Structure 1
Amino acid sequence: MSGHERVKAGSKMQYIENKTYAEITVGDSAQLTRTLKQQDIELFAVMSGDVNPAHVDLEYAKTDMFHGLIAHGMWGGALISTVLGTELPGPGTIFLNQSLRFEAPVRLGDTVVVRVEVTDKRPKGRLLLECTCVNQEGKMVTEGVAEVIAPEEKMRRPRIVLPEAHLHVQGAQYARLIKATHDLAAVRTAVVHPCDSLSIAGAMAAARQGIIVPVLVGPRKRIEDAARAAGQSIDGVEIIDTPHSHAAAATAVALVRSGKVEALMKGALHTDELMEAVVDTALGLRSERRMSHVYVLDVPTYSKPLLVSDTAINIYPDLTAKRDIVQNAIDLAHALGIAQPKVAILSATETVNPRIISTVDAAALCKMADRGQITGGLIDGPLAFDNAISPAAAATKGIISHVAGDADILVAPNLDAANMIAKQLIYLAGADAAGIVLGAKVPIVMTSRADSAVTRLASCALAQLFINGPRPSVS
């Protein structure tokens, strides 16, 4: 919603009005009160380019000479300018000079009262104003003098409501995910054909974090060459030598069946090669549950992790397969600490249309949840993508739902749609995407050549949390 729309939506229009030079007398004053928040610090740093650790680095600030200084008085100086430009004299004010002294630090959580008072009225519209910022303890943190030219003409305009600002720290969701594994036992993981720099580096990074105990399965020489190229030491790491990638996949699956590893991690081989061995009827890792792939996306414009499925395994799933896709995603959400995940079953519309099969399937899945055939989450559908993730879109359509506008999980009607949703979020919205295959006897970490280091760690963390988290067993 734009600032203009937000104002119109309110119960009363608010205005901003100035005081002209003729109206102002010595002793006139204006003030505002603000509390310093973390987002204020980050926005100020982005706007100004000020990345002084004493101002923006919480850990540095705890140990430096300022003893907890989070933001300097420049924030107070900006607020003084706000009062001058919006309250006294207000719109039309021309700034000539501002001299400030910063008496004390402003810390995260401090509340300051910012006040300006006219102390001298000079010819040619000039004013001198005393400027102060006092914190919640009554202590002066900033004081000084401003010289301005007051406006000659009266001005009254609607007060513009500023748009919401969203700051996103890349990988922040994944950092929390990885941190959640710190007290868990490392998972013995067969890394299948790690014969390029990215694969071996990702596996060894996860090992250093205590997320996995890697067992490297593939041609020994190629693995050792990849490790040297990546600058990785694999001393002491178990290597199982195989002649090629197909043999590596089969060997890794056999390690699972014999109980020697608890998870698989895809290396430098095609997904189809690995999954061919996994789904083998006689020697694979099939369970009673249909396998499906789940992306866990860290989307800059979404406030929480967003799970999308099935993006890689089931091309045109029928209703039975969709039931398992939904349940797999719910089970993973539980392992991530989401007690009652909200599942949106996606289609092109939010109403059931017999000519659009995905809407009929969505309605059936909701009824299956009502009957206990899907458990552990709140399910609604059909929902269009916008209705699933945007409260405003859901409200506009008049959709009353515990899921609409706040989904944790998006289940697409087919692989094409799921994959395109995920890839659009990755490449147009700047999302990070960790991936895992569930429904087999063990979780399978699916990495992509385009994955960043933190994404590869997060994918391994998904497997570790899933193995150790609350979930029903698959047989």
Structure 2
Amino acid sequence: MPIKNVPFEALEVGMEAQRTRTLKADDLYVFANSSGNMNPMHLPKEDGDGDGMSESVAPGMWVASLISAVLGCKLPGPGTLYHAQTLRFLGRAHAGDELTVKVRLTAKGDNRLVTFDTWVEAQDGSRIVEGEAQVFAPEKPLQFELEDMPGLTVQRHVHFDHLLAMAEPLPAIPTAVVAPEKVDALAGALLAAEHTLIDPILIGHSEKVSAAAEEGGLDLNGFRVVDVRDHRLAAKQAVAMVNEGGAAAVMKGHLHTDQLLGEIVKRDGGLRRGRRLSHVFVMDVPGLEHLLLVTDAAINITPDLQTKADIIQNAIDLARSLGLEQPKVGVLSAVETVNPAIPSTLDAAILSKMADRGQITGGLVDGPLAMDNAIDLGAAATKGIRSLVAGRAEILVAPNMEAGNMLAKELTFLAHAEAGGIVVGAKCPIILNSRSDDDRARLASCAVAALHAARERTE
């Protein structure tokens, strides 16, 4: 939409303009980052005055900045430059408030200097800011199209916050942590214990575990340490604990994934239960209105059709544990039409039909879908795809591990997504943390495991 001005000669005393704006929590984060004002009184998740609640008070200068938007975009409009502004703060605005900014021209002076009464009203009409602005009005008419104005996405991971809130009231699940012999592996387990997500049983070389605790300043008091000095044997001990009922989850520490999974997938004494194991990344992508699950990006290298069916069923079961009642599954390929020259399109079409016939249950499955029309409604409409999944996919099924791994890492490192994840399809959740995971990713993986374990206990 174009914006245009009122040049100095056309201005008349008494002219008014106004604009209404709802204060969003994200506005407070944007202002904090751009201004450097990190006062916790203004940050939505912080308790700035110690009363046990978040205040989310808008900074006074953020509210005042709304005045400049009216002067610069409406009256006088483009070409206007500030000379002076007085302010009196009469009230406070909070996240969620609807604010109306008004200006009234009161005087015209020399050199195109004009004076405005300015004020900001709350929704009930009460003033929270008032003052006077002097600006240099534009000399000639101007009009601008701002369609290419870049937008902002706040890197705030609200979906992971919700997962943690769902999981923390649950009983901590006894978790066999295999080889927590480095600081990052040990700290992740103890952090999850602090949040009552897991009750870790530390299986590994006891001296190395103690050394990692000392290096990281971590307290092992109250935690059980099982001294097993070989990684394969430590993994075997963890599997035995699950089979004997002493643990309800397994967590990878500082050992090779192959060593851990080798014990888990053994036909005799392992944790298999008929279905193929698969890994699911649970991702909180800034700007996306829901969690996004990506599978399989870590275990099955070139899955055949039946393995893909298991991968999808595993992901649906996990998504339901996370609160998605009927997850929407997009089976990805390079194109959205069936092409015999691209085998993944044939698999996707068959998997969709398998879901229609009840061979895959609990979710809506559609494919083949290209990445764009799987997650973007506009792209799906452009291609003429009519589907309950296209443009709305909550689970993305990659054609192979390479594609899935690249997709998950692109979302993490280019789209600034947070990524947690677990292995599903076994007798218990298996938490596979990466050395590059930060604390929130480790917590999220443990929260996902706790929620999945809780749902499986009730079924």
TM-score, reference length from structure 1? 0.90
- 2:426 matched to which residue of 1? 440
SS of alignment partner, residue 303 of structure 1: coil
The equivalent position to 2:9 in structure 1, one of 22, 29, 34, is: 22
Aligned: 1:184 with 2:178:
no
CA distance in 2, matches of 1:353, 1:320: 20
CA 1:24 to 1:180, structure 2 compared with 1: closer, same or farther past 3 Å? same
Separation of aligned partners in 2, 1:443 and 1:182: 17
Which range moved further: 352-361 or 94-103? 94-103
> Which residue of 65, 68, 83 corresponds with 1:96?
83
The equivalent residue for 2:294 is 308
Separation in structure 2 between the aligned mates of residue 301 and residue 39 of structure 1, nearest angstrom? 11
Q: C-alpha distance in 2, partners of 1:76/1:206?
A: 39
Shift of 1:333: 0.3
Is 1:237 the counterpart of 2:223 in the alignment?
yes
Name which of 13, 18, 40 aligns with 1:53: 40
Unaligned runs of 5+ in 1: 1-13
Query: Which stretch shifts more, 135-144 or 190-199?
Result: 135-144
Map of 1:276 onto structure 2:
262
Q: Secondary structure at the match of 1:328?
A: helix
RMSD over aligned CA atoms reads: 2.2
Instruction: Please say if 1:426 is aligned against 2:398.
Output: no
Q: What is residue 32 of structure 1 aligned with on the other side?
A: 19
SS at match of 1:124: helix
What's the offset of the Cα at 1:304?
2.0
Cα deviation code 1:177-226 (max 9, x no counterpart): 12211221111111111111111111122222221222222222222222
Q: Does 1:119 align with 2:106?
A: yes
1:109-129: CA deviation from partner (whole Å, max 9, x where unpaired): 333332222222223322222
Counterpart pick for 1:367 among 353, 366, 385? 353
What 5-or-longer segments of structure 2 have no aligned partner?
A: none
2:365 paired with 1:383: no
How many aligned residue pairs are there? 457
Match of 1:4 in 2: none
The separation in 2 between residues aligned to 1:95 and 1:276, in whole angstroms, is 69
Distance in structure 2 (CA, Å) of the matches to 1:63 and 1:231: 28
Equivalent residue of 1:184, what SS?
coil
Shift of 1:138: 2.7
Structure 2 residue corresponding to 1:144, chosen from 113, 124, 131? 131
Are residues 417 and 70 of structure 1, via their aligned partners in 2, closer, same or farther at CA, if it must alter by over 3 Å?
same
Cross-structure match for 1:79: 66
Do the aligned partners of 1:334 and 1:471 also contact (CA within 8 Å) in 2? no
Range moving further from structure 2, 116-125 or 192-201:
116-125
Corresponding residue number in structure 2 for 1:401? 387
Q: What is the alpha-carbon distance in structure 2 between the residues aligned to residue 429 and residue 157 of structure 1?
A: 31
The sequence identity of aligned pairs, in percent, is: 48
Q: Which residue of 2 aligns with 1:174?
A: 160
Q: CA deviation at 1:472?
A: 8.9
Q: Is the 8 A contact 1:335 1:471 kept in 2?
A: no
Q: Retained in 2: the 8 A contact 1:103–1:142?
A: yes
Distance 1:73 1:435, change over 3 A: closer
Q: Deviations over 1:307-335 (max 9, x none)?
A: 11111211111111111100000000000
Q: What are the Cα deviations for residues 428-451 of structure 1, in whole angstroms up to 9, with x where unaligned? A: 222222121111111111111111
Closer, same or farther: CA 107–394 of 1 in aligned 2, 3 Å? same
Matched, 1:262 2:248: yes
* In structure 2, distance between residues paired with 1:367 and 1:319: 12
Letter paired with 1:233 = D
Q: Measure how far apart 1:230 and its partner are.
A: 2.2
> Which residue identity does 1:289 align to in structure 2?
R
The 10-residue stretch of structure 1 (331-340 or 295-304) with the greater mean CA deviation from structure 2: 295-304
Q: Give the match for residue 5 of structure 1.
A: none
User: How many Å separate the matches in 2 of 1:36 and 1:435?
Assistant: 34
